[in-house]
Amino acid sequence: MIKKLVSYVAEFKKDAILTPIFVALEAVMETIIPLLMAWIIDNGVGKGNMKYVCVVGAAMLAVAFISLTCGVLSGKYSASASSGFARNLRRAMYYNIQNYSFSNIDKYSTAGLITRLTTDVTNVQNAFQMVIRMFVRAPFMLVFAMGMSFYINAKLSLVFLGAIVFLGIILYFIMTRVHPYFMQVFKKYDDLNASVQENLTAIRTVKAYVREEHEINKFYKASETLYKYFIRAEKLIIINAPAMQFAVYTCILLLSWLGAKMIVSKTMTTGELMSMFAYTTNILISLMIISMVFVMVIMSKASAERIVEVLEEKSDLQSPENPICEVKDGAITFKNVNFSYSKSLDKCVLEDVNIKINSGETIGIIGGTGSAKSTLVQLIPRLYDTTSGSVEVGGIDVKNYDIETLRDEVSMVLQKNVLFSGTIKENLRWGNKNASDEELIAACKQAQADEFIENFPDKYDTFIEQGGSNVSGGQKQRLCIARALLKKPKILILDDSTSAVDTKTDALIRKAFKETIPDTTKIIIAQRISSVQDADRIIVLNDGKIDGFGTHDELLKSNNIYIEVYESQVKGADNNESK
Ligand SMILES: Nc1ncnc2c1ncn2[C@@H]1O[C@H](COP(=O)(O)OP(=O)(O)OP(=O)(O)O)[C@@H](O)[C@H]1O
Ligand SMILES: [Mg+2]
C-alpha cells in the first residue's frame, strides 16, 4: 500500500526530500541556541566579559536567523510536496473511476466515492505533510537535545530518560485504544455523505412528500454518531496533555532540586542548569509531536486503505488485445445468454435468451416492470458482460470489439437519462462533438425537439440546469433522443425513452425514424402497445425469459401476456372515450 501511495509523490521527490533536510537543520540550530546561552551566562555575564557577550550574542542571532530561514523553506517545500501528492492521488482516482464499468460502479456508492476523493485524500495529505516535517524533526530534536544534555551533565539527564519511559507507556496505551474508533469514524463519514447526497439530489421529492422533518432527523442521527465516535477518540487522545504536563513539571522540579544541589557542590554551573531547562522543553515537546504524528498516521491509515481500494479497482470490462474497430452492420444475436448482476448463475435476471435481430429492423420490447428489459438491452453496448452465453453485433462477439467503437455504433438512451449543466448545443454535442449546427437541428427535428427549442428565448443556446431541472420530462427525453441520434449509430436503443411524451409526438418520432434512418436497427422498449405495435417484430419479456417474439398480429393470436396487455390498454382507452 505504501509503495502504491509513494509512487504518486515521485513527481515531488525533490520537495519531499528537501523538507526533512531543512527541518533537521532548523532543529539543529534551535538546539544550539540554549548552549550558546549557557556560554553567555557562564563565560560572559558571570565573568563580566562584555566583548564575549556581544560576539556569542551575534552568533546566537545568526543561528536564530538560519533556523528561521530553514523553517520557512521547509514549510514551503512540505506544502508543495503534500498538495502535489494530494493532487496526483485525486487525479489518479478520478481517472480510474472514469474507467469503471457499470458493475464496478454498483460496488461503490456515489457518496462513498466522494468521501474517498475529498475527506480521505485530505487526511492522507495532512498526515504526509506532518510526517515529512515532524517525523524527522521530532526524533532528530529528541536525539540531539538528549545528546547535548548528556554532554552538559550526564547524571542530571537521567531524569529525562525516566520521563521518556513514562510518556512512552502512556502513548502506547492511547494508540492501541484510539485506532478502532478512527476506523469506525470513516465508515460513519460515508453514511453521513450518503444521507446528504441523497437528500440534496432528491430535494424536490423530499419537499413533495413533506419529508423534511424525517430527513433532518436522519442527518441528525448520522452526524450525532460521528460526533460520538470523535468524542470517544478525542477523550483518549487528550490524556496526552495532562501526562505531558506532569512529565514537564516533574522534570523541572527534579532538575531544580538536583541542579541546585550540584551548583552548591560546584559540580555544575548556573548557565548549564539554564540550558538543561531549555532542553527539557525541547525533549518533551518532541515526544508530544511524535505522539501527535502517530495519531495522524493511524487516522490516515484507514483513509489510505480506502484510497488504494479505489486506485486498484480494475474495470472488469476491458477492450481485447487486438480489438476490432469497425462494426459491419446492425444485426444482433443473443446466443444462450444468462445474466446475473451478482455473477452467480443461480440468481439469474436473464435466462436462456436466444434471439436474432436483422440489421435495420425495428424491434419493440414489452414486459412488466422488473422483467429485465433494461438488463437485456444493456448487454448490447457491453455495459455489462453476460454471465454465460454470448451477444453478437454485426456477426461478431461484442467482447472482440474496441469498447469505444462499439458504444459509438450502439447508441442507447438510458432509462434514467440525464442532461448536464450547459447549453442545449453543448449537451447535444455529447453525441458527436464535431456535429455542425445543421446536424444538431436535423437530429432535433427527428426527435421532435426542434419545435420547443425554437420557442425558448435563447433557442439552442438555452442553458440547461444540472440534471435538466429546467426542462419538462418529455422535453428532456426528446433532447436525450436527439443526443443519441447525433452519433449516427448502426443500432439505436430507446429504453422507455418516450414514456413522458404524448402519443401523437411519440408516433411522429417513430415516423421520422422510419423515414430518416431506415438502415439503423431500432430497439424500442415501451410500456404502451401503441409505441411498439408497428415495429417489425416485438419481444415479450416475462421474468427474464423470452415469452414471445413476432409481429403484432402474430402475438395477438398466440401470446397470452401480449393479448392481456393489449386488451387492458385498448379497453382502458375505449372506456375513457365513452365517458
Ligand atoms: N444494477 C443492478 N444491480 C442488481 N440488480 C439489478 C440492477 N439493475 C436491475 N436489477 C434487478 O434486475 C431485475 C430486472 O431489472 P430491469 O431494470 O432490467 O427491469 P425492467 O424490465 O427494465 O423494469 P422497468 O420496466 O421497471 O424499467 C430487477 O429484479 C432488478 O431488481
Ligand atoms: Mg427498465
pLDDT digits (tens, 9 = 90+) for 422-478: 888 888 888 888 888 888 888 888 888 888 888 888 888 888 887 777 888 888 888
Pull the grid cell for residue 22: 531543512
Nearest listed ligand to the Cα of residue 540: 1
Q: Which region among 64-73, 125-134, 179-188, 248-257 has the lowest average model confidence (pLDDT)? A: 179-188
The CA 461 to ligand 2 mean position distance, Å, reads 31
The CA 359 to ligand 1 mean position distance, Å, reads 27
Amino acid identity, residue 70?
A: C
Q: Is the pLDDT of residue 230 over 80?
A: yes
* pLDDT at residue 299, rounded to an integer: 75
Q: Is 101 in the pocket of ligand 1 (CB under 6 A)?
A: no
Q: Counting runs of H as helices and runs of E as strands, what totals does the chain give?
A: 22, 12
Same structural domain for residues 513 and 411?
A: yes
Smallest CA-to-CA distance from 379 within 339, 419, 348, 409 is with 339
What's the sign of the alpha-carbon dihedral 542, 547, 550, 556?
negative
**What mean pLDDT do residues 29-50 have?**
82
Q: Is the pLDDT of residue 135 over 80?
A: no
- Which residue, 316, 344, 375, sits at the end of a domain? 316
**What mean pLDDT do residues 521-537 have?**
88
Q: What SS3 class is residue 39?
A: helix
Q: Is 369 in the pocket of ligand 1 (CB under 6 A)?
A: yes
15, part of any domain: yes
Residue with CA at minimum distance from ligand 1 atom 5: 341
**What mean pLDDT do residues 147-169 have?**
85
Top mean pLDDT of 134-148, 185-199, 479-493 is at: 479-493
Can you tell me the distance from the alpha carbon of 148 to that of 154, in angstroms, rounded to the nearest whole number?
Answer: 9
453, part of any domain: no
Same structural domain for residues 114 and 191?
A: no
| Mean pLDDT value across the chain | 85
The CA 538 to ligand 2 mean position distance, Å, reads 16
* pLDDT at residue 576, rounded to an integer: 52
What domain range is 365 assigned to?
332-416+490-574
Distance of CA 419 to the CA centre of its chain: 21
184, part of any domain: yes
What's the sign of the alpha-carbon dihedral 185, 187, 192, 197?
positive
The CA 487 to ligand 2 mean position distance, Å, reads 22
Q: Is 371 in the pocket of ligand 1 (CB under 6 A)?
A: yes
Pull the grid cell for residue 207: 419537499
Q: Is the pLDDT of residue 574 over 60?
A: no
Pull the grid cell for residue 386: 453476460
255, part of any domain: yes
Can you tell me the distance from the alpha carbon of 403 to that of 380, in angstroms, rounded to the nearest whole number?
Answer: 11
Same structural domain for residues 229 and 110?
A: no
Confidence of residue 259 (pLDDT cuts 50, 70, 90): confident
Same structural domain for residues 350 and 216?
A: no
Tell me the pTM.
Answer: 0.70
Q: Is 349 in the pocket of ligand 1 (CB under 6 A)?
A: yes
Nearest listed ligand to the Cα of residue 342: 1
CA distances from 46 to 35, 41, 50, 270, 275 (A): 15, 6, 10, 9, 15
435, part of any domain: no
Nearest listed ligand to the Cα of residue 369: 1
pLDDT tens per residue, range 320-350 = 888 888 888 888 999 998 998 877 667 788 8
Q: Is 543 in the pocket of ligand 1 (CB under 6 A)?
A: no
Same structural domain for residues 64 and 165?
A: no
Q: What is the CATH number of the domain that holds 85?
A: 1.20.1560.10
Q: What residues are paired with 411 via a beta bridge?
A: 492
Confidence of residue 571 (pLDDT cuts 50, 70, 90): low
Q: What is the CATH number of the domain that holds 369?
A: 3.40.50.300
Confidence of residue 579 (pLDDT cuts 50, 70, 90): very low
Pull the grid cell for residue 484: 443519441
Q: Is the pLDDT of residue 573 over 70?
A: no
User: Measured from the CA of 544, which atom of ligand 1 is nearest?
Assistant: 14
- How big is the CA angle at 409 (ends 408 and 410), to the nearest 5 degrees? 95
Residue with CA at minimum distance from ligand 1 atom 2: 341
Amino acid identity, residue 543?
A: D
Contact (Cβ atoms closer than 8 angstroms) between residue 367 and residue 548: no
17, part of any domain: yes
What does the radius of gyration of the chain's CA atoms come to, in whole angstroms?
A: 36
User: Measured from the CA of 342, which atom of ligand 1 is nearest?
Assistant: 4
Can you tell me the distance from the alpha carbon of 243 to that of 247, in angstroms, rounded to the nearest whole number?
Answer: 6
Q: Is 348 in the pocket of ligand 1 (CB under 6 A)?
A: no
Amino acid identity, residue 358?
A: N
Number of domains observed in the structure of the chain:
3
**What mean pLDDT do residues 10-23 have?**
87
The proportion of the chain whose per-residue pLDDT surpasses 70, expressed as a percent, equals: 98
Q: What residues are paired with 262 via a beta bridge?
A: none
Phi and psi based region of residue 465 (left: phi greater than 0; alpha: psi -120 to 50; beta: remaining): beta
284, part of any domain: no
Same structural domain for residues 90 and 123?
A: yes
Q: What are phi and psi of 7, to 5 degrees?
A: -60, -20
Same structural domain for residues 538 and 497?
A: yes
398, part of any domain: yes
Same structural domain for residues 522 and 566?
A: yes
The proportion of the chain whose per-residue pLDDT surpasses 90, expressed as a percent, equals: 9
Same structural domain for residues 304 and 356?
A: no
* pLDDT at residue 90, rounded to an integer: 92
Quick one: the chain helix, strand, coil %, rounded to 5?
65, 10, 20
User: Measured from the CA of 376, which atom of ligand 1 is nearest?
Assistant: 18
Nearest listed ligand to the Cα of residue 545: 1
Q: What are phi and psi of 174, to 5 degrees?
A: -65, -50
* pLDDT at residue 365, rounded to an integer: 92
Same structural domain for residues 127 and 254?
A: no
Q: What SS3 class is residue 491?
A: strand
Same structural domain for residues 88 and 40?
A: yes
Q: Is the pLDDT of residue 40 over 70?
A: yes
Interacting residues of 252 by C-beta distance below 8 A, sequence separation 6+? 277, 280
Same structural domain for residues 374 and 517?
A: yes
Q: Is 367 in the pocket of ligand 1 (CB under 6 A)?
A: yes
CA distances from 206 to 199, 210, 213, 259 (A): 7, 6, 10, 72
Q: What SS3 class is residue 362?
A: strand
* pLDDT at residue 578, rounded to an integer: 46
